A = this chain, B = another copy of it.
Amino acid sequence: MTKPDLTDLTAQIVAFRDARDWAQFHNPKDLALSLSLEVGEVLEHMQWTNGDALTTRLTERREAVGEELADVLYYTLLLAHDLGVDLETAFAAKMARNAEKYPVEKARGSSKKYTEL
């Protein structure tokens, strides 16, 4: 069975919203704000812990963190939809740009920004 692509996932979100007549409450700023707050919920799981202790904690909380990441994906797809952004195309363009900015032979093993390579 084929797995859902970004268009399929977005269609699920929009169908869910339209069945509830919620588009009237949505505007780009509040959607982006919700996206930001969901990222905050991911970050909360990482507060005051680092290194191995953080790895252990995130393993224990994998399901909870996964829920927050699903929320992040949800608002990313919905916001892209409402702004008329084709996210799959934007993503492919971004990957192509990154490959140009960071050629393997120059960027390998370096944490420098492309402007400093």
Contact = CB atoms under 8 A, between A and B. Distances in A.
Interface of A: 2-7, 9, 12-13, 16, 19-22, 24-25, 27-30, 32-37, 39-40, 42-44, 46-48, 50, 54-55, 58-59, 62-63, 65-67, 69-74, 76, 79-80, 83-91, 93-95, 98-99, 102, 104, 107-111
**Copies of this chain, tallied across the complex:** 4
A74 B47 contact: no
Contact of A20 (B44, B69, B109): B109
A3 B8 CA distance: 10
Contacts of A25: 48, 111
Contact of A85 (B21, B27, B66, B95): B66
